[in-house]
Amino acid sequence: MKKIFSVIILVCLVLPLSAKARQMRAIAVRTYPHDVSSFTQGLFFHNGVLYESVGQYGSSAIMKTDLKSGRQTQREDLHRRYFAEGSCSLNGVIYTLTWQEGTCFVYDPESLETISSFRYYGEGWGLTTDGKSLISSDGSATLIWRDPDTFQELSSKTVTLNGKALSLLNELEWIDGKIWANVYGSNNIVVIDPETAQVEQVIDCSALPSFPKREIENVLNGIAADPATGKIYVTGKLWPTLYEIRVQAK
């Protein structure tokens, strides 16, 4: 009996405890125009330029966006059979997922010309990077670490919120050593510890001014951090506004 108790105590010491996530809220610091025709799937900065991948069959694209005006300054359309999803930059190129087509496109960040592509199994939703690997979501509670040279899966982790698996992870962004993720269909962004895959913070964005009434499609989606300034921006699918935000406790 003593041996059993000793094993239980040892397991409790080894396994990480699931800390309750902190409840936060997003406060608008500044607002910018956002193209209401943009079905935002991915949002990120590369060399000071804001890039955005937009979805929908027949109108999917990767593009450069002027932050102040919200206008597209350069755009590369995908073939109408592809539905673009999350995107990010790593090692001097841009990666863009597709929803159900199992294809990741690789682009030149200057010309937006296609360099190559990779095939993968399952759906593509969000994409970010820790500076070494690519990290993707597929709409489940799973995050997948991938080799940027082959797009092959290296490892995966199940994200939990207060001890329970959290599904519908969508657009991703790496910010200060944490993974920020939109939760599809909600007004929340979650901040995930990449080591434990536990949600440390839940950020409620519904208090942003002119926050659109949520319809089936125009949900919160799009997180970008500018490494040069440390500023964080969020928007949504078909939203008229992009917000620079700060986060504070509720």
- The rounded distance, in Å, linking the Cα atoms of 44 and 52 is 7
- Burial per residue of 14-33, b for 16 or more beta-carbon CB atoms within 10 angstroms, e otherwise: eeeeeeebeebbbebeeebe
pLDDT(41) > 70: yes
pLDDT band, very low/low/confident/very high, at 15 (cuts 50, 70, 90)? very low
Min mean pLDDT across 3-12, 24-33, 107-116, 194-203 is at: 3-12
Task: Identify whether the C-beta of residue 177 lies closer than 8 Å to the C-beta of residue 186.
Answer: no
pLDDT at 220 over 60: yes
pLDDT of residue 19: 79
Q: Tokens 């109408």 belong to which residue?
A: 80
- Asked if residue 14 has pLDDT above 50, the reply is no
Q: Output the CA torsion 91→221→204→180 (10° steps).
A: -20
Give the DSSP H or E segment for 14: helix 2-14
Contact between 56 and 79 (Cβ < 8 Å): no
Name every residue whose Cβ is closer than 8 Å to that of residue 81 and which is 6 or more positions away in sequence: 57, 101
Of 8-22, 26-40, 41-55, 208-222, the one with minimum mean pLDDT is: 8-22
**Where would I find the beta strands (DSSP E) of 14-152?**
22-33, 40-46, 49-54, 61-65, 72-77, 84-90, 93-98, 103-107, 114-119, 127-129, 134-137, 142-146
Is residue 187 within 8 Å of 214, Cβ to Cβ?
yes
pTM: 0.90
